[in-house]
Amino acid sequence: MKTQGSTIFSIFLITTGSLFGIWAAAALIGGLYRVNWEVTELARQYLVASGMIKPIHTVVDFYTHIKGIEYILCLICFVAFPLFFKYVNERKVSITSRKKTSQKNR
């Protein structure tokens, strides 16, 4: 059984969520309109505005960015290569040899 208070609270939550949803949709549509309906440009502007990416103005900025990516790729390779090497060098047991050993054990 629902009480009057919980019903009012659920209506309040639904109304508030709907208002925020309408506001977010209006902000997205307005932003897309300002960038001539280009989704990638809108995403780039949001990322620059939030500080997630920084515009590159000089060659030194570009080189620093590329060096950072290079270090991340090196770290991934240093982890992935030993795992791959271990996987490749595992001893493989064929199906026929398993059948022969299981028949011998019977």
Output the DSSP codes for 5-17: HHHHHHHHHHHHH
- Domain of 31? 1-54
Same-domain status, 71 and 36: no
Which residues lie closer than 8 Å to 48 by C-beta, 6 or more apart?
Answer: 54, 55
Same-domain status, 31 and 2: yes
Same-domain status, 82 and 64: yes
Q: Considering its fold, how many domains does the chain have in total?
A: 2
Same-domain status, 3 and 30: yes
pLDDT tens digits along 13-40? 999 999 999 999 999 999 999 999 999 9
Same-domain status, 30 and 61: no
**101: in domain:** no
Q: Is the pLDDT of residue 6 over 80?
A: yes
In terms of pLDDT, which residue wins out, 62 or 76?
Answer: 76
**If you search the block for the tokens 């949803």, which residue do you land on?**
21
Distances in whole angstroms, Cα of residue 47 to Cα of each of 20, 44, 55: 22, 5, 10
